[in-house]
Structure 1
Amino acid sequence: MPRAVSDGADNLDADMDNGAAQQQHDGYNVGAPPKKNLLAEFAGTVKETFFSDEPMRRYKGQPRSRKLWLALQHVFPVFEWGSQYTLAKFKGDLIAGLTLASLVIPQDIGYAKLANLPPEIGLHSSFVPPLIYALMGTSRELAMGPVAVISLLLGTLLQEEIDPKKNPLDYRRLAFTATFFAGVTQAALGFCRLGFIIAFLSHAAIIGFMAGAAITIALQQLKGFLGIANFTKKTDIISVMKSVWGNVHHGAMELADNIDRSIIFGIPPGCQGKKNKKLFWVPAIAPLISVIISTLFVYITRADKQGVAIVKNVKKGINPPSASLIFFTGPYLLKGFKIGVVAGMISLTEAIAVGRTFAGLNDYQIDGNKEMLALGTMNVVGSMTSCYIATGGFARSAVNCMAGGKTPMSNIVMSTVVLLALLWITPLFKYTPNATISSIIISAVLGLFDFESAYLIWKVDKLDFMACLGAFLGVIFSSVEYGLLIAVVISLIKVLLHVTRPRTALLGNLPRTIIYRNVEQYPEATKVPGMLIVRVDSAIYFTNSNYVKERMLRWLRDEEEHQKEQKLPKIEFLIVDLSPVNDIDTSGIHAFKELLRTLEKRQIQLIFANPGAAVIQKLRSAKFTELIGEDKICLTVGDAVKKFAPQLTENV
């Protein structure tokens, strides 16, 4: 349990001033809520986990037409914010949408290249998905489309199954299949309200993963940036450096020429400067300006005939249908499913994290389950309209926010501009140099480095930092999937450590009060003679019940040795503060029974203080309260001390 929660549990005992500390609890016993039958308890748990009761409360007492309207608003939030839409909001959304389009058009071409897909598929993915999200999403700032990390992940995983150069059609089909199952996974999580699953990718793991992915993406762009023909397909830093060095060693003069050309075409987007609120449009439009200038330069000078690698053909036209291309049978079905689940979880985690960040900044809340349903739906539809996985990226969402985006309408404006580009402008990208696209990607991924968050993680929690570092090193020295696996494993180890080794604290009395606090946190707190007061800061389950019992006995053994050395009164009572214990299972109760038997042999009485509703209910169901005695279950630690050692509180 984190220190903040552990220390906060101190307040559950009796947070009162000296005057209130004299309050008596005579006549009050520890209560328990009415016991539910098995069916009612199971139904309540299922309802709390899978179904929201908020819509039900809104529907009560409403006419049928109103209920229908509320149902439409629940599924399609556009009906809610659209009914309050104004011209002032549209002005902000229009500027934001146009600014976004100038940023995403060149980026989408580069991200498609990163995924080993034709450039037009990147543009397709910024046309249909944003339209679907605008209808179903709840975030005002999230801007939808391809992102660097997911593009790299797809490009890495897909090419392990199919060679994109030798079999481009099946490669594309597998990409659509992965996108379909990514959407199904996201929508299912939202529909069943299972978003807590993505919590297994902790914030620290994502920080490390993003930083590692940024380095990997940047290294992968050396192929296009330096004009290297024979480049490794592996993504780890060692393989990439070997590939670069091999090309330098065997063709230094040719590489030098490529470096010259790369400097010409690569500098403009790299010199965008830092983003700020007043000049947000400078980095936003810089990629498009770079593409226009470099493309015109190549076209006028015909530098492509002198060896400058260019994008070549970008197919013109609106998204063609692709539902028939998805692998619903055959050997690639399972492979597409596995890749889709992994990519879908990562993209979902990124979108939810970004959405909540901007919602917090602008003082409103997003509905996590609706977000998952919206993301899933847009990717399912996208897979059927020649798109690959889209999500809400931080960079484009930040531009959307700073440009004045007020509602998801900015996504519609951006999508409309992308549509016009697909219909009219795409042939002009034929002469765009690969070096420019590569430099745009490198410039874009620089924002994935979050040194401040990594340093904060190091200061706050070393285990969290290990997850962060593990993800980072795993990505850059092995692969994206191994980096994720390492991060998840370390995060799970951290959870298991907290679950199996919960914190316990030795409590003492604050002078002149009946308040009892952790003696390590409050050195002035004094131990009660003849009593050992221990607090357990976690639920007690089969995973930690034996540890909790053994830890209490160890506290007792250490304290008895200390009492003998100091020639203090023998310990007669063990008081267990159960304030932070929100649940207990049969293993926990069994451990307490064993503890009780051990204490009885040593002539020490066991006393419980402030058990919660679920705990006292289960203790009574197991008849443990009869075993220990109802009189030994007290409201507070102060009551327990007063009851069994009244002479100690006479002067308080």
Structure 2
Amino acid sequence: MFLSRWLPGLANLLHYRREWFHADLQAGLSVAAIQIPIAIAYAQIVGLPPQYGLYACVLPMMVYALIGSSRQLMVGPDAATCAMIAGAVAPLALGEPHRIAELSVIVTLLVGVMLIAAGVARAGFIASFFSRPILIGYLNGIGLSLIAGQLSKVVGFKIEGDGFILSLINFFQRLGEIHWVTLLIGLAALGLLIWLPRRYPRLPAALTVVALFMLLVGLFGLDRFGVAILGPVPAGIPQLAWPHSNLAEMKSLLRDALGIATVSFCSAMLTARSFAARHGYAINANHEFVALGVSNLAAGVSQGFAISGADSRTAVNDMVGGKSQLVGIIAALVIALILLFFTAPMAWIPQAALGAVLLMAGWGLIDIKSLGHIRRLSRFEFWLCLLTTVAVLSLGVLPGIVFAVTLAILRLLYSIYQPTDAVLGWLPGTEGQVDIRKHKDARTVPGLVVYRFDDAILFFNADYFKMRLLEAVQSQDQPKAVLFDAEAVTSIDVSGIAALREVRDTLAAQGINFSIARARGTFLRMLVRSGMAREMEDKLLFGSVRAGIRAYRVWRNRSRSAKVAGEG
């Protein structure tokens, strides 16, 4: 029970089936083949030497394989989180490589602690605040930023300028400085990265391209012609260490770590849930917080940087047919062997080939197709998606995301502030009630206004509810009673209760009875706590609209009888 709850990966491996091994071995080798060149390239986004990208793979992949609940998810360096790390550490490191490495580790450890704390606090619901349009807009912004930042590797000159727009301006101003051999390598690598997956989908395109151009540079000595190469890569697995820092740096990095933790978790959850649904099992978001947090701690202490769910490597694992978390362990061991014995040839990898890999990674983050789909469904969410992209490019990653989420929450509050409502009637041949404003031939009960409010009644929309209900009553001819259909009112607060009382008293002053139908959940509990349920008594609280209408008709017939008797 303990293992299945806290170490589901280990529990799965303890019940491992021998027939899975061949598929897991093939998937592990395939994932490692994809992970190695991508990790080397992503380390350069952060500003670190290539070996640090591999460090961020070995221990985290093993840890997640034991703790994670997803049988398909592969963790590792991610373009979005790497871009955020670079933005967090660059202002403090001032271009010093050893400081970039130390600060990256600190950020990673902070991210790990925050993720674990969020999991313990059962904060898995946070993923719901990142709607799909916001995530698409965010990834589009990250993709464009990544492309702009990696153009220099392909054209052979360093692009100056802070931010997306200034980088592009500087790029176009300096086109005359292009190093043509570097550009040729970059374009050839890009072409192969596009063609190989279409022609040979099972071939690790990134590894193949990097290995091919590494061989060409080594054989023909292209570095003598000004082609930038990766340079020596130290051999050996990372040493476990704890970074040195001070309180001022920690405070500065806390905000960025929070943003990286949030984005890392949401990205990983999207990937994990997608593949879990495909294979018929569920993912526990709170446990994934902890699993991803511990994996980030493992990345930090092994001199790596923050990691997330790697969608491309997860897709490769699934495509090849990986059956269990053993795939991650096999991939990690392969990468460790590369670090120990095969780092020397990496020195000849041309920067242009790595730049091409990163350009493809950036392009892979951009989702134009979904933009069109979102536009057809919702104009607001389409513009929210575009604004998120613009905000990420202009304000930065974390401020851009905060801006987008704030805008979405304001939109939600506005929709709650002015929700839809209706005066209900009945249409022959139609089951249930309809809005008489949309169906002019709908029938109503003479003298009775059946009103529905389609959301919670809270402090910011209580006055709006009161205004709309009274307007609905005034629009009807000689109303005698109001039946409030409260089925859609999921919640009500103190201000809402006060508004209900004011509505009841205002109607009573006009000789109009007020009753409620289908009160349930929090709304009903608040009616009971406030004493309003006792004040209204059972004859004014009904379990259904029909029961309320029957009671109204009985009351109306009695009133008529009493009136006739009085006149007699």
TM-score (norm 2): 0.93
1:223, CA displacement in angstroms?
A: 0.7
Structure 1 counterpart of 2:210, one-letter code: V
* C-alpha contact 2:391 2:400 (8 A) present in aligned 1: yes
Counterpart of 1:591 in 2: which secondary structure? helix
> 2:88 matched to which residue of 1?
157
> 1:116 matched to which residue of 2?
47
Q: Write the distance in 2 (CA, Å) between the matches of 1:140 and 1:647.
A: 64
1:199, CA displacement in angstroms?
A: 2.4
1:206 aligns with 2:135: yes
1:587 aligns with 2:504: no
Q: Write the distance in 2 (CA, Å) between the matches of 1:445 and 1:385.
A: 27
User: What is the aligned counterpart of 2:156 among 214, 227, 230?
Assistant: 227
Change (3 A) 1:355 1:552: same
Once the two structures are superposed, what CA deviation does each residue of 1:399-437 show, in whole Å capped at 9, x if it has no partner?
111111111111111101111111111221101001100
Once the two structures are superposed, what CA deviation does each residue of 1:148-193 show, in whole Å capped at 9, x if it has no partner?
11111111222123223xx222221111111011111111111111
Counterpart of 2:334 in 1: which secondary structure? helix
* C-alpha contact 2:181 2:227 (8 A) present in aligned 1: no
Structure 1 counterpart of 2:160, one-letter code: T
1:106 aligns with 2:37: yes
1:627 aligns with 2:535: yes
Counterpart of 1:645 in 2: which secondary structure? helix
CA RMSD of aligned residues (A): 2.2
Q: Write the distance in 2 (CA, Å) between the matches of 1:93 and 1:554.
A: 67
Q: Write the distance in 1 (CA, Å) between the matches of 2:229 and 2:190.
A: 13
Q: Write the distance in 1 (CA, Å) between the matches of 2:194 and 2:396.
A: 26
Q: Write the distance in 2 (CA, Å) between the matches of 1:524 and 1:98.
A: 69
> 1:64 matched to which residue of 2?
none
> 2:565 matched to which residue of 1?
none
> 1:32 matched to which residue of 2?
none
1:265, CA displacement in angstroms?
A: 4.4
Q: Write the distance in 1 (CA, Å) between the matches of 2:106 and 2:439.
A: 59
**Worse-matched range after superposition: 337-346 or 240-249:** 240-249
Q: Write the distance in 2 (CA, Å) between the matches of 1:374 and 1:475.
A: 28
Alignment of 1:197-346 (within 5 A): 197-229=126-158, 231-232=159-160, 234-236=162-164, 238-249=165-176, 251=177, 254-274=178-198, 280-282=201-203, 285-323=204-242, 325-327=243-245, 329-346=246-263
1:326, CA displacement in angstroms?
A: 4.5
Once the two structures are superposed, what CA deviation does each residue of 1:434-491 show, in whole Å capped at 9, x if it has no partner?
1100101112333222333323322333332232111112223443233213211211
Q: Write the distance in 1 (CA, Å) between the matches of 2:206 and 2:126.
A: 37
1:451 aligns with 2:368: yes
1:599 aligns with 2:507: yes
**Worse-matched range after superposition: 582-591 or 520-529:** 520-529
1:512, CA displacement in angstroms?
A: 6.9
Counterpart of 1:313 in 2: which secondary structure? coil
Q: Which runs of 5+ in 2 are unaligned?
A: 558-568
Structure 1 counterpart of 2:209, one-letter code: S
> 2:265 matched to which residue of 1?
348
Change (3 A) 1:434 1:266: farther
1:506, CA displacement in angstroms?
A: 2.4
1:99, CA displacement in angstroms?
A: 0.6
**Worse-matched range after superposition: 172-181 or 153-162:** 153-162
1:391, CA displacement in angstroms?
A: 1.1
> 2:425 matched to which residue of 1?
508
1:494 aligns with 2:406: no
1:522, CA displacement in angstroms?
A: 6.3
1:519, CA displacement in angstroms?
A: 4.0
Once the two structures are superposed, what CA deviation does each residue of 1:236-269 show, in whole Å capped at 9, x if it has no partner?
1x212211122225x3xx5445423433444322
* C-alpha contact 2:186 2:355 (8 A) present in aligned 1: no
Counterpart of 2:342 in 1: which secondary structure? helix
Change (3 A) 1:611 1:154: same
> 1:19 matched to which residue of 2?
none
Q: Which has the higher helix share?
A: 2
Structure 2 counterpart of 1:365, one-letter code: A
> 1:476 matched to which residue of 2?
393
Change (3 A) 1:187 1:522: farther
* C-alpha contact 1:280 1:399 (8 A) present in aligned 2: no
1:523, CA displacement in angstroms?
A: 6.6
TM-score (norm 1): 0.81
* C-alpha contact 1:187 1:377 (8 A) present in aligned 2: yes
> 2:526 matched to which residue of 1?
618
Structure 1 counterpart of 2:533, one-letter code: T
Structure 2 counterpart of 1:241, one-letter code: L
Change (3 A) 1:606 1:398: same
* C-alpha contact 1:153 1:343 (8 A) present in aligned 2: yes
1:397 aligns with 2:318: no
* C-alpha contact 2:56 2:77 (8 A) present in aligned 1: yes
Once the two structures are superposed, what CA deviation does each residue of 1:210-237 show, in whole Å capped at 9, x if it has no partner?
11211111121101011113x225231x
* C-alpha contact 2:23 2:321 (8 A) present in aligned 1: yes
User: What is the aligned counterpart of 2:284 among 343, 367, 380?
Assistant: 367
Counterpart of 1:421 in 2: which secondary structure? helix
1:521, CA displacement in angstroms?
A: 6.8
1:192 aligns with 2:100: no
1:127, CA displacement in angstroms?
A: 0.6
Change (3 A) 1:523 1:220: farther
Q: Write the distance in 2 (CA, Å) between the matches of 1:480 and 1:614.
A: 38
* C-alpha contact 2:141 2:393 (8 A) present in aligned 1: yes
Structure 1 counterpart of 2:548, one-letter code: A
**Worse-matched range after superposition: 239-248 or 622-631:** 622-631
1:411 aligns with 2:319: no
Identity score, percent: 26
1:547, CA displacement in angstroms?
A: 1.6
1:538, CA displacement in angstroms?
A: 1.8
* C-alpha contact 1:311 1:432 (8 A) present in aligned 2: yes
Counting matched residue pairs gives 557
1:397, CA displacement in angstroms?
A: 1.0
Counterpart of 2:353 in 1: which secondary structure? helix
Q: Which runs of 5+ in 1 are unaligned?
A: 1-69, 564-569
* C-alpha contact 1:320 1:386 (8 A) present in aligned 2: yes
Counterpart of 1:331 in 2: which secondary structure? helix
Counterpart of 2:247 in 1: which secondary structure? coil
Structure 2 counterpart of 1:633, one-letter code: L
Q: Write the distance in 1 (CA, Å) between the matches of 2:42 and 2:431.
A: 64
Change (3 A) 1:274 1:590: farther
Change (3 A) 1:77 1:555: same
1:273, CA displacement in angstroms?
A: 3.9
Counterpart of 1:532 in 2: which secondary structure? strand
Q: Write the distance in 1 (CA, Å) between the matches of 2:403 and 2:492.
A: 32
Structure 2 counterpart of 1:591, one-letter code: A
Q: Write the distance in 1 (CA, Å) between the matches of 2:365 and 2:352.
A: 21
Alignment of 1:6-25 (within 5 A): none
Counterpart of 1:606 in 2: which secondary structure? strand
> 2:340 matched to which residue of 1?
423
* C-alpha contact 1:515 1:638 (8 A) present in aligned 2: no
Q: Write the distance in 2 (CA, Å) between the matches of 1:158 and 1:274.
A: 38
* C-alpha contact 1:267 1:439 (8 A) present in aligned 2: no
Once the two structures are superposed, what CA deviation does each residue of 1:95-135 show, in whole Å capped at 9, x if it has no partner?
11111111110011110001111111101111111100001
Q: Write the distance in 2 (CA, Å) between the matches of 1:453 and 1:583.
A: 34
